Structure 1
Amino acid sequence: MVHYYKVNCVRDNLRLIREFVTVVLRNLSLSEIEVNQLVLAVDEICSNLIIYSHNCNPDYFLEINIEDQAGKILFEIIDQDANFFDISEYQEPKISNIIKERRKGGVGLMLVNRIMDTVEVSVEDHQNIWRMTKKIAKK
């Protein structure tokens, strides 16, 4: 089953996205820790897109799809009209540099990569599509 949610790019909608993801994942009988990790990963991507790619412009939208597949969960975040992010060129920051420079951000994508089993970004029909998967054990 695919669970679908669409929101405009307003910062306040990040709370609604987290609530949507939480409800879907709790229905999959995941542990609270797994739910929280996956909500964090989706929130990080959506936050970056809403805040940095679209500057909180409500004229833009994100679509979030969550699909329970055999042994894994597929998350798709579909972003229309944003600049393409080439994840293959992403260089993970060194934690020591972030601490030394007292930066407040810069670890979101690193966390996403550590939480998810796969993270891919593609362009299809003039849309950026973030696809992330997480293997799950059936209970």
Structure 2
Amino acid sequence: MRHKIKLNCEKSRLVDLRAFLNKVLSKTTLSEITKNQVILAVDEVCANLIIHSHDCNPSDQIALEVTESGDQLVFEIKDHGEGFNILEYKQPELNAVKKERRKGGLGIILVRKIMDNIEFESTGNQNTCRLIKLINSK
């Protein structure tokens, strides 16, 4: 199974992303809860790219390819924006976020908890973020 979608960097396109993911994941054996968690994680990464790396510029695009390979689903997100290595992100302390009442900062924590593996690479001006979910993981 291999599915692809390209999205212009507009927040309004996140609805299309979620619909695409819902359709793709409906063909898997993941539980409904896990499907929703995976959609949340992929949506979070794509939203961050659209908002922070591309400043919601509709002439920019991100590409997502979903591949089922053996016992895993691989979500490969590619863009040509300002690189953000999710693996180098220093997550804030939850108590500090609550105390400061700051908006944001929790999405990447969720992505790390939901996905089984995360890979990031940047070559030239292309960035690739791979989110990997084991089909039989919880």
Same fold, TM-score > 0.5, yes or no? yes
SS in 2 for 1:132: strand
- TM value normalised by structure 1: 0.93
SS in 2 for 1:23: helix
The letter of the residue matching 1:21 is L
Aligned mates of 1:30, 1:89 — CA distance in 2 = 29
Of 83-92 and 34-43, deviating more is 83-92
| 2:136 counterpart residue number | 137
The letter of the residue matching 1:5 is I
Residue ranges of structure 2 left out of the alignment (5+ in a row): none
| 2:17 counterpart residue number | 17
| 1:83 counterpart residue number | 82
Q: CA RMSD in A?
A: 1.4
- TM value normalised by structure 2: 0.94
Aligned mates of 1:104, 1:45 — CA distance in 2 = 16
How much identity, in percent, do the aligned residues show?
Answer: 43
Shift of 1:85: 1.7
> How far does the alpha carbon of each residue in 1:34-64 deviate from its partner, in whole angstroms, 9 at most, with x for none?
1100000000000101011111101100101
The letter of the residue matching 1:123 is S
| 1:43 counterpart residue number | 43
Shift of 1:125: 4.9
Residue ranges of structure 1 left out of the alignment (5+ in a row): none
Aligned residues, how many? 137
| 2:125 counterpart residue number | 126
Of 66-75 and 117-126, deviating more is 117-126
SS in 2 for 1:12: helix
SS in 2 for 1:120: strand
Of 122-131 and 59-68, deviating more is 122-131
Shift of 1:32: 0.7
